Structure 1
């Protein structure tokens, strides 16, 4: 991929000054897609207390977004197997660009910017070849520079690691094809993994769960400042056999699922929706909209230590070190030992609260 590598080399020698920081649009802490009461769809910017500071229309249901670290721009992604990804000015509400998935591809609902905001990386499905792809886009004109393998099938979430030069991808392992809707085509043979890639596309490391956990699809990610990766899984086997859906991984080691009592594991109904480190990274939380709860884990102990009941919860984020949660009922929660609703909006919040770093 000489074109992309050349762009990276040129970028290092050039200035990339921000046009407008997030402070100009109210310094939101989170982005979230939502369905409004009139069945229209929007991308919202939210404070740490859940108060909207802007909302921008979307053409259809959104899943997650990527926030440019320097400019008040967001890329909103369609829910899988959607093909739209639109670049929005969060200052004016104007659509700045539309990303078109190449022929034979669709987006998986997530993306990540490079630390300088110059590149966007998108998870994609090359569905006829049944392989995962990371697309690479220049983040001024949003022209596609190239692509590389995600290291597995069904790449969903993608995050930039703290070193700024490494990406981690949650390859869920599930083969899908738009002709079959959201049907899962390879469950008996699926092989989820975490793949660590350089931003140039070189595979640096791959990690898989134990063989008996091969149906525990790795979907969503959070990364602690020291590089510890937290992940949420979605179990594709019998609900009666559902294992823990919260995991941790440090490079060079084997991934581990948090230990959980049988009743705790079954309470999640095999579904981890979002994941977030909180309390200065000593705790980790995973939501389950199916179970209607947030499960809490102690990182050092590697164990589930509690849960919070919240109907239709999915989005998780952190504000001032404290856990926040959003639900399909429009509630935005302070997810403390005694949870309380901070705001209630006439919307159905979608799956994720995306952090914004205000430049």
Structure 2
């Protein structure tokens, strides 16, 4: 494992300290966790998971066996998070960022791989990992004991290609973005069913393991990928379009108990600027706003949470990661930059020789 000093003095010779402190309001000690890569793309590239603080300092980093994707904050272990492998990876790691150590390493069952996302139960006793049972051709929520991450149960997601999930405010319902895309590790990044894909927003009862509600869009090539849930239980999800490149389609939806999904409201210019792709979704309950990142559009879009109305865009190259820390929306990108979205001066923090991966998670230190 790498501690902070070893990492900073690593083989690449690059210093990973931020050049400008982040701008936070608030006193609580929170760290931000993300997968990232260093070095030249290809054989010289190395993959890590790291945590940094509100002063823009890297706390610790651990090297990963391959590229990571999303992470989950451990609710009962300060400074700990789960790092999930990027599809079709098979590792799940519990990381202690206080000491810079991997404390548990779990491999997916034969015939399964991770989809890069998962979340803990409210009491922290269970981890729900989103997985692809590719031998049976179905997506699963795999229930794991958080002491050793051994499997307790498996629930059918009710769809193909599940991706991000979140707990609803009741603590007993999981909302799942079923992307609808069939994949297989024999063709690691190939999408096998674009003509017949069927994405859905699914609600799963954790007591019974049964799907209790499912909502689909008329356009079956709008893949539902990432989402967040407000304190009041409103779900906002970002989409990725798998249809013709010339199409201009809306790329975000909301749902709050109604009979069907609703598209967020923006003109065609806004949707076209996102280049058919969104990454992370982050709800700010205090400001009553939603932030959605688009790395292909080099943009963060801000939306009114209550009215689903577009507010404005913020330019940030290759932006993907979003998380709420100390009541501030923080963004990361593939250029090693970090931005407090509410900072009117747009003062970027820069980590040298780091390419932040797609997602960002806030943990208690």
- Distance change in 2, residues 1:130/1:339 (3 Å): farther
Aligned partner of 1:184 in structure 2 is 191
Compute the TM-score of the two structures, normalised by the length of structure 1: 0.87
- Distance change in 2, residues 1:337/1:258 (3 Å): farther
| Aligned-residue RMSD, C-alpha | 1.8
Shift of 1:357: 4.6
**1: CA distance, partners of 2:345 / 2:38:** 24
Report if the CA contact (8 A) 1:157-1:169 is conserved.
yes
Correspondence 1:247 to 2:253 = yes
SS in 2 for 1:341: coil
Report if the CA contact (8 A) 1:224-1:281 is conserved.
no
Q: How many residues align?
A: 331
- Written as runs of structure 1 = structure 2, the 5 A alignment for 1:1-359 is 27-37=29-39, 39-48=45-54, 50-71=56-77, 72-200=79-207, 201-209=209-217, 211=218, 213-278=219-284, 280=286, 282-336=288-342, 338=344, 340-346=346-352, 347-357=354-364
- Distance change in 2, residues 1:174/1:53 (3 Å): same
Shift of 1:50: 4.1
**2: CA distance, partners of 1:339 / 1:204:** 46
Report if the CA contact (8 A) 1:333-1:342 is conserved.
yes
Shift of 1:341: 3.1
**1: CA distance, partners of 2:338 / 2:67:** 19
**1: CA distance, partners of 2:323 / 2:54:** 9
Shift of 1:48: 4.1
- Distance change in 2, residues 1:278/1:97 (3 Å): same
- Distance change in 2, residues 1:339/1:233 (3 Å): farther
Stretch moving more, 56-65 or 278-287: 278-287
Report if the CA contact (8 A) 1:297-1:304 is conserved.
yes
Aligned partner of 2:11 in structure 1 is none
Q: Which has the higher contact order (CA 8 A, sep 6+)?
A: 2
1:263-288 deviation per Cα after TM superposition (whole angstroms, max 9, x unaligned): 11111001011011126252111111
Report if the CA contact (8 A) 1:205-1:251 is conserved.
no
**1: CA distance, partners of 2:307 / 2:269:** 19
**1: CA distance, partners of 2:230 / 2:55:** 22
**1: CA distance, partners of 2:200 / 2:287:** 23
**2: CA distance, partners of 1:300 / 1:143:** 40
1:247-301 deviation per Cα after TM superposition (whole angstroms, max 9, x unaligned): 2111343211112211111110010110111262521111111111111112223
Shift of 1:91: 2.7
SS in 2 for 1:163: coil
1:114-167 deviation per Cα after TM superposition (whole angstroms, max 9, x unaligned): 111110000111113221111111001221112110110001001111111111
Report if the CA contact (8 A) 1:101-1:107 is conserved.
yes
Report if the CA contact (8 A) 2:30-2:326 is conserved.
no
SS in 1 for 2:71: strand
SS in 2 for 1:179: coil
Q: 5+ residue gaps in structure 2?
A: 1-27
SS in 1 for 2:186: helix
